[in-house]
């Protein structure tokens, strides 16, 4: 399903993509000339981008422009879509994630994902968080597992709300709590990158504020990419912003620059609400 040009040679970034990857010296993930097809239809066209640990990266763009598609190539979730095909090169710490010897299970443990709609498993809160550590064998003893669950829930800012009812079903929580539970679940396997696809779009403003606060707190510990339709949110939580349009990466740079002083006409139109 993948076809990767020269998997071993680390391609020197071409001038165009260097321009996009401005200011990032030590990237966690690098994407070069990535194309994604669904059957014959091309959803992503020649996208190159860098993601690093110190900055939260926001993907913005009109609906259907390919933000989710591109995000899902970063942990190979598109593998689960039969018609999807990816070309180009994506590296995690210099390692080609589409190489044939790449273990998808390991990759997804390192690159976690939070979805648009909270999707806790129909299990207890504890079991939801313990799911990843269990399948990856991260805890040898029950006490270790307890510690991991507590740490993850604390980091996700949920511990105080649920510590007395860890055995209740995860699906019985409120929407905002469920989304934080999903974040806790993702960080329980101690990933290096967390991908979030519109994590707040199903939540009310207060729950959204909590998630945004959480993103602030987690910054630096994990490289984070967030897809959002909310310009204010992008401005609030991210330091880097990428604007996608019709499968192309139109502009990528510091969030402050993109929002105050976009280089491209299309970016300006979008963030000023002229279309979308």
Name the site residues for ligand ATP (rule: CB under 6 A): 38, 43, 61, 63-69, 81, 83
Q: Which residue from 6, 80, 100, 143 is in contact with another protein, where contact means CB under 8 A? A: 80
- Helix, strand, or coil here: 47? strand
E-assigned strands of 53-165? 56-60, 84-92, 95-96, 111-114
Stretch that binds Mg ion, among 31-39, 64-72, 89-97, 264-272 (CB under 5 A): 64-72
Tell me whether residue 78 or residue 233 sits nearer to another protein (CB atom).
78
Q: Residues binding another protein: what is the number (CB under 8 A)?
A: 27
Residue 8 interacting partner from Mg ion, ligand ATP, another protein, none (CB closer than 5 to 8 Å by kind): none
Residues 6+ apart with CB under 8 A from 190: 138
Give me the DSSP letters along 134-180: HHTT--SSHHHHHHHHHHHHHHTT-HHHHTT-TTSBGGGS-HHHHHH
Contacts of residues 258-264 at CB distance under 8 Å and 24 or more positions apart, as own/partner, are: 259/231, 259/234, 259/235
| Contact (CB, 8 A) for 59 and 71 | yes
Tokens 């799911």, residue located: 131
Tell me whether residue 59 or residue 126 sits nearer to Mg ion (CB atom).
59
Residue 94 Cβ vs ligand ATP, minimum distance, rounded to whole Å: 26
Instruction: Check binding of 68 to Mg ion (CB under 5 A).
Output: yes
Backbone region of residue 190 per phi and psi (left: phi > 0; alpha: psi in -120 to 50; beta: other values): left
Instruction: Check binding of 101 to another protein (CB under 8 A).
Output: no
Instruction: Check binding of 136 to another protein (CB under 8 A).
Output: yes
Residue 183 interacting partner from another protein, Mg ion, ligand ATP, none (CB closer than 5 to 8 Å by kind): none
Residue 139 Cβ vs Mg ion, minimum distance, rounded to whole Å: 33
Residue 123 to residue 213: CA distance in whole angstroms: 27
Work out the angle between the directed axes of helices 142-155 and 175-187 (0-180°, nearest 10). 130
Distances (CA, A) of 196 to 89, 111, 259: 21, 11, 21
Residue 131 interacting partner from another protein, Mg ion, ligand ATP, none (CB closer than 5 to 8 Å by kind): another protein
Residue 247 Cβ vs Mg ion, minimum distance, rounded to whole Å: 13
Instruction: Check binding of 228 to Mg ion (CB under 5 A).
Output: no
Backbone region of residue 230 per phi and psi (left: phi > 0; alpha: psi in -120 to 50; beta: other values): beta
Residue 69 interacting partner from Mg ion, ligand ATP, another protein, none (CB closer than 5 to 8 Å by kind): ligand ATP
Residue 64 interacting partner from Mg ion, ligand ATP, another protein, none (CB closer than 5 to 8 Å by kind): ligand ATP
Distances (CA, A) of 271 to 20, 234, 268: 18, 10, 5
Q: Which residue from 27, 112, 199, 253 is in contact with another protein, where contact means CB under 8 A? A: 112
Residue 93 Cβ vs ligand ATP, minimum distance, rounded to whole Å: 25
Binding site for Mg ion (CB under 5 A): 68
Q: Which residues bind another protein (CB under 8 A)?
A: 75, 77, 80, 82, 104-109, 112-113, 115, 117, 119-123, 131-132, 135-136, 182, 185-186, 189
């Amino acid at each position: 399903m993948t076809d990767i040009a020269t998997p071993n040679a680390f391609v020197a970034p071409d001038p165009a993509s260097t321009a996009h990857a401005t200011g990032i010296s030590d990237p966690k993930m690098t994407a070069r000339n990535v194309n994604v097809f669904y059957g014959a239809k091309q959803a992503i066209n020649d996208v190159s981008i860098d993601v690093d640990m110190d900055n939260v990266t926001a993907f913005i763009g009109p609906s259907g422009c390919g933000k989710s598609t591109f995000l899902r190539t970063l942990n190979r979730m598109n593998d689960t879509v039969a018609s999807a095909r990816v070309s180009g090169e994506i590296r995690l710490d210099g390692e080609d994630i589409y190489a044939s010897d790449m273990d998808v299970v390991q990759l997804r443990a390192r690159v976690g994902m939070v979805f648009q709609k909270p999707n806790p498993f129909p299990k207890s809160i504890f079991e939801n968080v313990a799911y990843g550590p269990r399948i990856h064998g991260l805890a040898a003893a029950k006490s270790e597992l307890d510690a991991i669950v507590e740490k993850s829930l604390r980091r996700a800012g949920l511990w105080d709300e649920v510590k007395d009812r860890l055995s209740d079903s995860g699906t019985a929580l409120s929407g905002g709590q469920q989304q934080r539970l999903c974040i806790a679940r993702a960080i329980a396997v101690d990933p290096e990158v967390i991908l979030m696809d519109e994590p707040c779009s199903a939540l009310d403003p207060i729950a959204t504020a909590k998630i945004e606060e959480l993103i602030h707190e987690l910054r630096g510990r994990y490289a984070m990419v967030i897809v959002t339709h909310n310009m204010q949110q992008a401005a609030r939580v991210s330091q880097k912003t990428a604007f996608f349009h019709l499968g192309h990466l139109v502009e990528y740079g510091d969030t402050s620059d993109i929002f105050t002083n976009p280089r491209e006409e299309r970016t300006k139109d979008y963030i000023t609400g002229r279309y979308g």
